[in-house]
Amino acid sequence: MKKKNISRVLLTALAVLMTLTLTLTGCGGGSSSSNTSDVGTADGVAGTIKIGYVLPLTGPMASYSVGGVGARYIAEEALKIINDERGGIDIGGQKMKVEIIWGDTESDPTKAQEVATKLVTSDKVNILFGEWTPATTSPVSAVAERNKVPAILANGPDTSWLEGGPYDWSFGLFFNYDWFIDEYFNAWDEMDTNKKIGLVLDSNVDGVGMADIMKVKAAERGYTIVDPGRFPEGTKDYMQVLTQIQNENCDILVSSLLNPELVTVWNQCQQLGYTPKTAVLSKGMHLASEINALGEGKGEGLCIETQWSPQFPWINSLNGKDAQTLSDEYEAAINSSPDLELGWDWTLFEVAYDALSRAGSLDPEAIRQALIATDLETTYGKIVFAENHVGYCPIVFGQWLTDEKWGYKKVVIAAGHVPEVTQLTAPVYIPGYNSSK
């Protein structure tokens, strides 16, 4: 009888304990692995919106973010406005501040997927950012789709990204690849060349895509393509490829590779004594510091697609500043020439702030619907996501010319698809060109 009484006491105590535990959990004393509440948490602090920012902070693609210095500067500037000046974003009547959790891809697609997965499953971010070429945007999108987390991707051609679609949760700030290549030809049409184009493109998705489009565009616009074929990414010896192009007397050279490979390509051109009239060194070579690294005088006249210019006429929706002001402030803050990341980084924050403000909730579906309805004037002009979830951004064609301040300065020489850019510079030829016979 005594044992039975003891058992009843123990059972009663356990029941009370369980009831208390459930009550405390329901009041927020426990943790959850999913974003089911309109009020998010970060490290146990209520009222924080978490953005997981995936980008190459190290490795060969780190130059895009200036080793993270440029990206962090713009993030800090955006958060000063959002968190300090505006007190956060109104989510269900509560002002919530934004926290950035950085994820380094190390310039590797597999690492990008690993980092994005951790941000979603362990850090419980509310939105993912993925930035810089398909090596980041595609794997981050895959993680977002799998876990039903809203993601905003930036910088890259639409075609490469769309191959992984259709998308429900991912939204891309990209350039149209057809427009991209059109601007090449728009510039070349203003030059006196033999209209022969030599391609130095690898087997990466970017290289394959560019080769295919170049061939179609060349046929349409009266140019001849000399294509030695694809080679593995990271190739170090381009002599055979370049010799074939030189022997065909190509006035135009086009290469789209990562920065270390582009340096090798251009150096080997010099070793062969091959200097085309004009050359595109694409994908890398976006910063004046990278052009300077080629050696004195070796960057004059080189061309590249251009995704940022102080000449852009649009206004930043967060701070009301124009492109020239943003460029000047960037130069002063990090002592570097301003370039493409200015547009992409700012627009990521502009679009995210706008969508979260309209969503009024951290429910993933509410954020997704807000992104679908985006109609915003930004640093990159008007952003509206098409049915394929791409918000198209400007792409123009630039050329590097000698500059006293940074060694080289990029000017815009073609902007057929961006009529808002009205001040164009006449293209020049590479000094010492000798390709034509």
Cβ neighbours of residue 23 closer than 8 Å, sequence gap 6 or more = none
State how far Cα 309 lies from the chain centre: 16
CATH among 3.40.50.1110, 3.40.50.2300, 3.40.50.620, 3.40.50.1000 for 179-309+395-414: 3.40.50.2300
Q: Which architecture characterizes domain 41-176+312-392 according to CATH?
A: 3-Layer(aba) Sandwich (3.40)
Q: In the chain, what are the helix, strand and coil shares in percent, each to the nearest 5?
A: 40, 20, 35
CB 139 within 8 A of CB 168: no
Task: Give domain limits for the chain.
Answer: 41-176+312-392, 179-309+395-414
Same fold, 41-176+312-392 and 179-309+395-414: yes
Specify whether the CB–CB gap between 52 and 103 falls below 8 A. yes
Instruction: Compute the distance between CA of residue 74 and CA of residue 155 in angstroms, rounded to an integer.
Output: 16
pLDDT tens, 195-210? 999 999 999 888 998 9
What pLDDT was estimated at residue 263?
94
The pLDDT value given to residue 435: 58
β pairing state of 278-283 and 252-257:
parallel
Assess contact for 362 and 35: CB atoms under 8 A.
Answer: yes
Calculate what percentage of the chain has a pLDDT beyond 70.
89
- Lowest mean pLDDT: which of 143-152, 247-256, 330-339, 346-355? 330-339
148-194 pLDDT tens trace:
999 999 998 898 899 999 999 999 999 998 898 999 999 999 999 99
| Percentage with pLDDT > 90 across the chain | 73
CA distances from 359 to 45, 150, 271 (A): 21, 12, 58
Which helix (H) or strand (E) segment is 7 a member of?
helix 2-24
The pLDDT assigned to 159 comes to 87
pLDDT at 218 over 90: yes
Query: How does residue 126 score in pLDDT terms, banded at 50, 70 and 90?
Result: very high
Whether the pLDDT of residue 382 is over 90: the answer is yes
Indicate whether 301 pLDDT > 90: yes
pLDDT surpasses 90 at 68: no
Asked whether the predicted pLDDT for residue 436 surpasses 70, the reply is no
The DSSP secondary-structure symbol of 308 reads: -
